[in-house]
Amino acid sequence: MSYSVQFTNVVKKFGDYKAVNNANFTVNKGEFFTLLGPSGCGKTTLLRMVAGFNEIDEGEIRFDEKVINFTPAHKRNIGMVFQNYAIFPHLSVYKNVAYGLKARKVPEKEIQKRVEEALQMVRMEEFRDRQPAQLSGGQQQRIALARAIVIHPDVLLMDEPLSNLDAKLRVEMRSIIKKLQKDLGITTIYVTHDQEEALAISDRIAVMKKGVIQQIDVPEIIYKKPANAFIANFIGTSNFIPGTIVPMGNGLQHQLTLLDKWTIEINLLKSYEGEVMVSVRPEQIELQQPQKESIQGKVILATFLGDFINYEIELENKQIIQVNEYAKAGAKLRSEGDWVSVILDPYKMNIYDEKGKEALL
């Protein structure tokens, strides 16, 4: 049985600092929901409030209609996977997974059956009699996962579960977790600081900064339409080019000028006049042979990265931007020192106000 998780005006204070500042959102039933942000942003604090390890200072957390603020941690029926796995070092694999079932006084026969099932799901059935010390990090991770799901939790919480694994294993575990979550349909809240991981695994993502949730949306929107410059910068790579906006008439039609050179007409979300930050992803920029009436730059570093080439381009204002160009068959590597035209697509850029706090496009 899976629940939705509702956060209503949730606050956590450490002294005067609000580690979680007024969180308001709902994680839907069966959803894979990720809290994403740099370290210290409050994502783990929020997760631990759901688990019952941090007190809820203000507001309410609800599983469906039921307020869980006062339910003791051990009675919340939540599965949790810890960053360092927290495998009981004195218990065998089998006993680790059976631990929560024993606490629930499940009959021995059923425990056996369910443990076997859970171990199968994480493909660890042949390790059931091992001691934790004999397991690798990835294997411990799977045991932690099996231990969390075997109790049929109402909600599954994961606190940076993949951060201690090497890159290849991380990708492998990522897909195991995602498939398992979909098969079981458990409402899952996942915490990570790794934006790539968050984009790959989540149904929806909440980006946090200094205790405040900045944006909640599906991965594609988070990536393509970041709500502010912080998110644009934190998720993936963004080039921020300064520009000027001048309104044309009274409507939403404006004129954007970049580097005093390149001017386009553009419809904004609201009326605005003054300096702006234009954010463009490296792969959304096109490089062409130098031509007048366009932004120009000089290649200062070319890095071959397999399926694409990364260029560092120095613009006329001395700013250096990143551009990724797909390595098409027969395409020649641009040389350092080459001059190029930098072509921007108004439909593939984001415009923020001067301070980067509000999206204008």
Partner 1 sequence: MIVNEKKKSPVFHHMMDFWNIITIISLIILTITLLYPFSSLILKSFIDKTGESFTVKNYINFFKLPYYFSTLKHSLVVCLLSTFFATLVGLPMAYISTRFNIYGKKILNLMVILSLMSPPFIGAYAWILMLGRNGFLTRALESIGLRVPPIYGLKGIVLVFTLKFFPYIYLYVSGALQSIDSSLEEAAENLGVSGFKKIMTVTFPLILPTISAGALMVFMTSLADFGTPMLIGEGYKVLPVLVYEEFMSEIGGNVSMASTLSVIIVLCSLTVLFIQKKIIAKKNYTMSALRPPKVKELTLGKRILATVFCFLVALIAMSQQIVVIVTSFLKTSGPLFLKEFSLESYRLVRHRLSHNISNTFAFSTIAIIIMIIAGMLLSYVIVRKRTKITGILDMLIMFPYVIPGAVLGITLLVAFNQGPIILSGTAVIMILSYVIRKLPYTIRSSTAILYQIDPSIEEASINLGVSPMKTFFKTTARLMAPGIFSGATLSWITTINELSSSIILYTGRTATISVAIYTEVIRASFGTAAALASILTLTTVISILIFNKISGSQGVSL
Nearest approach, Cβ of 85 to partner 1 (angstroms)? 8
Nearest approach, Cβ of 209 to partner 1 (angstroms)? 24
Choice between 152 and 298, CB closer to partner 1: 152
Counting every residue written for the chain, the total comes to 361
Nearest approach, Cβ of 69 to partner 1 (angstroms)? 6
Choice between 151 and 205, CB closer to partner 1: 151
Rg of the chain over CA atoms, in angstroms?
25
Nearest approach, Cβ of 91 to partner 1 (angstroms)? 9
Nearest approach, Cβ of 72 to partner 1 (angstroms)? 3
Choice between 62 and 225, CB closer to partner 1: 62
Choice between 46 and 278, CB closer to partner 1: 46
Which own/partner contact pairs does 233-238 have at CB distance under 8 Å and 24+ positions apart? 233/279, 234/37, 234/38, 234/195, 234/207, 234/209, 235/36, 235/195, 235/199, 235/207, 236/195, 236/281, 237/281, 237/282, 237/322, 238/279, 238/280, 238/281
Residues linked to residue 302 through DSSP beta bridges, in sequence order: 311
> For residue 298, what are the CA distances in angstroms to 138, 312, 341, 343?
45, 8, 9, 13
Choice between 44 and 195, CB closer to partner 1: 44
CB atoms within 10 A of CB 5: 25
Residue numbers at the binding site for partner 1 (CB under 8 A):
8-9, 51-53, 55-60, 69-80, 82-84, 86-90, 99-100, 103-104, 147, 151
Choice between 9 and 291, CB closer to partner 1: 9
Nearest approach, Cβ of 221 to partner 1 (angstroms)? 29
Residue 304 φ then ψ, to 5°: -80, 120
CA distance 31 to 195: 18
Residue 15 φ then ψ, to 5°: 65, -125
Residue 190 φ then ψ, to 5°: -125, 135
Write the CB contacts of 360 (distance below 8 Å, at least 6 apart in sequence).
245, 268, 269, 270, 272, 276, 351, 352, 353
Nearest approach, Cβ of 159 to partner 1 (angstroms)? 9
Choice between 77 and 263, CB closer to partner 1: 77
